[in-house]
């Protein structure tokens, strides 16, 4: 069998197919439907220092070949995640990549401190771009100085762990942010997070989501993600992980051909949980 190994920094993955952060939750919810052990890694939903209850109101709205979500980073908080959820994910044989929220600086530093003490974690992905939370990532991923600070602190506090910078596409030039991330010490770039979208309820004439805007994902965004990966791969030397609307083996092949070293599957697992394993088999 062909060796599918792939490295980010000093960390080796058995193959370059990951579950993306968000749709799969803590990963364990999908263990009956996806053989997690077979995948390169499972990127967890984004973990914040304190528990977050998430957004009120409608959280999901399907579109033609896409999905708007306004979950609001609902999660159990770092302590419960590391005590309860991570051990289950490890029991299921998964290789975890922990997605970390880039919140206020003090909270972020404490989150990094807790994460640095986890023996079972050697890769994190910084959610620099989640558009769902007013006080959250949006500003971080679009401001070069902040981006640099968040990545440098992660590299510094997490010691030898590999750090992936997950970038937002809601900027003018994503590749310049990728270059900044690389210079700040990121070991890899994950591109892209969700696009900003919205919807209107015609009966009331008001926005569907309490927070008005929502993250847009699914097959509809695939060409945008592919373009971002193509542009980023030309200007950085670190591995680029392509994510955004991958819905078939062919889509994954296009990302790899565009310069991605690995791919993540997100929204597609909702309707086709077998897809990530089929992509692994196709390599």
Partner 1 sequence: MADLTKGSYETEIVMRKRVSPSSFLIALSKPDRFTDAMPGQFVSLRIGKGVSPLLRRPYSIMDITKDSIVLLVRVVGKASAALASGKIGDVIDIIGPLGGSYFEIKNGCSVVFVAGGTGLAPLLFAARKWAKERSVGELHLLYGAESSNEILDDLCTGIFTEVHIATLDGSKGFRGDVVEMFKGLSEGGILPEGELFSCGPVGMVKALMDSNTVSFTDHYTSLEAVMACGVGACRGCVVPFKSNNGTEYKSVCGDGTVFRAEDIDWEKWGKK
Residues of this chain, 40-99, that bind partner 1 according to CB under 8 A: 45, 53-54, 56-67, 69, 71, 74
Shortest Å, Cβ 27 to partner 1 = 8
Compare residues 91 and 272 and give the one whose CB is closer to partner 1.
Answer: 272
Residue 226 CB, shortest distance to partner 1, in Å, is 16
Rounded CA-CA distance 73/67 in Å is: 16
Q: Contacts from 252-259 at CB under 8 Å and sequence distance 24+?
A: 252/17, 252/279, 252/282, 253/282, 254/226, 255/225, 255/226, 255/229, 256/16, 258/226, 258/229, 258/230, 258/233, 259/229, 259/230, 259/232, 259/233, 259/234
- The distance of closest approach from Cβ of residue 124 to partner 1 in the complex, given in angstroms and rounded to an integer, is 20
Tell me which of 8, 20, 21, 22 binds partner 1, using CB under 8 A: 22
Q: Virtual CA dihedral for 234, 239, 174, 104, nearest 10 degrees?
A: -160
CB closer to partner 1, 259 vs 273: 273
On whether the CB atoms of residues 30 and 9 are closer than 8 A, the answer is no
Which CB sits closer to partner 1, 122 or 125? 125
- The smaller minimum CB distance to partner 1, of residues 4 and 80, is found at 80
- Residue 255 interacting with partner 1 (CB under 8 A): no
For 57, counting Cβ atoms within 10 Å of its Cβ (0-12 exposed, 13-18 middle, 19+ buried), the class is: exposed
Q: Could you count the other beta carbons within 10 Å of the beta carbon of residue 51?
A: 15
By beta-carbon proximity to partner 1, the closer residue of 119 and 271 is: 271
- 130 annotated active-site: yes
Asked whether 13 and 39 are in contact (CB, 8 A), the reply is no
Q: Which of 149, 224, 247, 278 binds partner 1 (CB under 8 A)?
A: 247
Please identify which of the residues 130, 214, 269, 280 carries the catalytic annotation: 130
Distance CA 276, CA 283 (A): 11
Q: Does 280 bind partner 1 (CB under 8 A)?
A: no
Total residues belonging to the chain = 283
Q: What minimum distance in Å lies between the beta carbon of 67 and partner 1?
A: 6
Name the minimum Å distance from CB 182 to partner 1.
31
- Residues 54/273/279/36 CA torsion (nearest 10 deg): 70
CB of 186 to partner 1, least distance (A): 27
Closest CA to 230 of 267, 250, 256, 251: 256
Please identify, using beta-carbon distances, which residue of 86 and 233 lies nearer to partner 1.
86
Instruction: State yes or no: residue 29 binds partner 1 (CB under 8 A).
Output: yes
Residues of span 208-237 touching partner 1 by CB under 8 A: 210, 218-219
From the list 39, 258, 267, 280, which residue makes contact with partner 1 (rule: CB under 8 A)?
267
Mask for 129-168, x = binds partner 1 (CB under 8 A):
----------------------------------------
Please give the Cα distance from 244 to 267 (Å, whole number).
Answer: 8
Catalytic residue positions, numbered:
130
């Amino acid at each position: 069998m062909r060796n599918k190994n792939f490295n980010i920094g000093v960390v080796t993955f058995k193959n370059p197919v990951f579950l993306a952060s968000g749709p799969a939750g803590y990963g364990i919810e999908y263990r009956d439907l996806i053989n997690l052990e077979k995948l390169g890694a499972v990127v967890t939903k984004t973990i914040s220092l304190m528990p977050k209850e998430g957004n009120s109101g409608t959280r999901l709205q399907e579109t033609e070949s896409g999905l708007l979500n306004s979950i609001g980073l609902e999660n159990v908080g770092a302590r419960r995640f590391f005590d309860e959820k991570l051990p289950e994910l490890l029991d299921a044989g998964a290789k975890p990549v922990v997605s970390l929220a880039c919140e206020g600086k003090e909270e972020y530093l404490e989150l990094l401190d807790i994460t640095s003490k986890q023996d079972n974690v050697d890769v994190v992905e910084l959610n620099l771009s989640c558009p769902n939370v007013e006080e959250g990532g949006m500003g971080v991923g679009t401001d070069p100085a902040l981006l640099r600070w968040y990545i440098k602190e992660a590299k510094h506090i997490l010691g030898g762990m590999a750090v992936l910078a997950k970038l937002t596409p809601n900027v003018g030039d994503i590749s310049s942010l990728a270059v900044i991330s690389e210079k700040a010490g990121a070991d890899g770039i994950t591109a892209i997070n969700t696009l900003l979208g919205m919807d209107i309820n015609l009966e009331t004439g008001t926005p569907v989501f309490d927070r008005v805007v929502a993250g847009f994902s699914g097959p509809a965004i695939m060409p945008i993600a592919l373009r971002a990966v193509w542009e980023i791969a030309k200007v950085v030397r670190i591995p680029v992980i392509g994510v955004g609307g991958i819905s078939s083996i062919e889509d994954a092949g296009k990302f790899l051909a565009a310069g991605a070293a690995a791919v993540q599957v997100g929204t597609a697992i909702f309707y086709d949980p077998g897809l990530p394993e089929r992509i692994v088999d196709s390599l």
